[in-house]
Structure 1
Amino acid sequence: MDDEPTLAAIPLTGGNMEPVVRVGDTVRRVAGEWTPAVHALLAAVRAAGVDEVPEPLGLDDSGREIVGFIAGGMLVDAPARVQWSTTIVEQAGRLLRQVHEASVPLAHDPGRTWRSPSREPSEVVCHNDFAPYNLVVDGGRLVGAIDFDFASPGPRLRDLAYLAYRIAPFAEDAEGFDPEATSDGETPVDRVRRLVAAYGADYPVGEVLGAAAGFLDELAAFTDDRAAATGRADFVEHAAMYRRDAARLRSFE
């Protein structure tokens, strides 16, 4: 797909890896050997009738990947009454299940190259970062999930557990969560149960939180490596937070 030289490239914030820009109704970012697999995943999900993921549009003349832009705001930036509403919890659980179901054939295709390592059991293709900063809302409704670059085959619970950590929430840096004011009085544990039910599974809360703790162990190590490579002090702080949160999650098991 050719560039659109008459349209300005608008930098998009929030990414911690490569620069991301919006050009018209498209989003462009650095491509890699994983891009064909990611675009195949997006195409499969959209072919299953799930329009809440970006449309894959190939590469531009600069070799960057192109995907469709999903209009709206990031859930993490939404007012607390939206960000922590039980309706959003349910919508996120259902959307994750739809993405997972559409991905099953790709999870068992050994010919695909993914950016992240595959994990067993490879039940679905995991997003590996399905969280409020990658979820798009419009008018209080969840309308999209973005940033599939780190997707790879893995267990369903991996994605669901990290989403629970972020949306229940158990994350130390979650802001504005008030059970009385924003989530119908439900505690984070109650919200994990709601999320799991919306996804259509029956994982016990302890199993979900244990899986989330394991995910955070990996994330802390990854973030330590990023800190060493970039010299960014905020990555050091994030890694420390992930370890504190993992220890706290294990107290619920």
Structure 2
Amino acid sequence: MEEQLAGGNMAPVFRVGATVRRETGEWTPAVHRLLAALTSIDEVPAVIGLDDFDREVLTFLPGDMLAGADATVLWSERILVSSARLLRRMHDASVELAGDPSLVWRSPAHRPREVICHNDFAPYNLIVRGGVLSGVIDFDFASPGSRVWDLAYLAYRLVPFAEDAPHAESLDRSQRLAALINAYGMSFAPDDVVSVIVQRLDELESFTLARASDTGHADFLAHAAMYRRDAERLKLWNARNS
């Protein structure tokens, strides 16, 4: 029996028993190569193959979406640190794929091609069990890029800098950004990470406006407007804190 899962903004995703099924495309072999490279990481789903409808079949990761967790879990130091450390492990395991010209990805690459970026490593794609980070899903938009390209989007969503972050008014963004960078384990300057967030938001705004045009859905316009407001606010934040 198939159960349609929440999310799947680009195409529906279904659970069948202990597996997840979703559409395939020219990017699927590259994504499966990536998941194979990440097999030593327990928080990542494993590839089983394709079903009779040519959908990919992955293992189902039990748990709840971090995005829907109580604020005491969502904004906990434990989740902040473990998310950055998981991203670092994924990046380190993907290095050999980053320069492979034979791989076709769904998303454009970004230079420098250091690692394979998840490109949507955020609370709505992270899974928790018992208040502990236990999984990451939705690798379809992965592509080569820099480490900070991925880390910046995690910072946007988990420090957080996003306007729509719930119950985050009292958080110390400067302290959380520093903790996130420290947990990842590389010496990125906080203002450089924020500058990359702005670049990402510029790209997201363009992508989301195109989606609004293609689908006619007004909610995409609202999201694009939020990305623009957040980008302008972060430019000011960087000017104040540089």
Shift of 1:73: 0.2
Is contact 1:101-1:124 (8 Å) kept? yes
1:62 aligns with 2:59: no
Q: Pairwise mapping of residues 178-217 of structure 1 onto structure 2 (< 5 A)? A: 178-179=169-170, 187-217=172-202
Matched to 2:230, the amino acid is: D
Match of residue 27 from structure 1: 20
Matched to 1:200, the amino acid is: G
Match of residue 3 from structure 1: none
Residues 178-229 of structure 1: per-residue CA shift (max 9 Å, x gap): 53xxxxxx50121111001000011111111110010000001000000000
TM-score scaled by structure 1?
0.93
Mapped to 1, the partners of 2:104 and 2:48 lie a distance apart of 19
Residues 135-191 of structure 1: per-residue CA shift (max 9 Å, x gap): 000000000110000000000000000000000001000002253xxxxxx501211
Shift of 1:109: 0.8
Is contact 1:206-1:252 (8 Å) kept? no
Mapped to 1, the partners of 2:215 and 2:169 lie a distance apart of 35
For residue 76 of structure 1, the aligned residue among 49, 67, 70 is 67
Match of residue 95 from structure 2: 104
Matched to 1:114, the amino acid is: W
Shift of 1:18: 0.2
Q: Pairwise mapping of residues 41-190 of structure 1 onto structure 2 (< 5 A)? A: 41-46=34-39, 49-179=40-170, 187-190=172-175
RMSD: 0.8
1:249 aligns with 2:234: yes
Matched to 1:170, the amino acid is: F
Mapped to 2, the partners of 1:28 and 1:216 lie a distance apart of 30
1:227 aligns with 2:212: yes
Shift of 1:57: 1.3
Mapped to 2, the partners of 1:100 and 1:144 lie a distance apart of 15
Q: Percent identity?
A: 56
Matched to 2:91, the amino acid is: H
Matched to 1:203, the amino acid is: F
Mapped to 1, the partners of 2:49 and 2:100 lie a distance apart of 21
- SS of the residue corresponding to residue 38 of structure 2 reads helix
Match of residue 4 from structure 1: none
- SS of the residue corresponding to residue 133 of structure 2 reads strand
Matched to 1:242, the amino acid is: Y
- SS of the residue corresponding to residue 150 of structure 1 reads coil
TM-score scaled by structure 2?
0.97
Shift of 1:83: 0.4
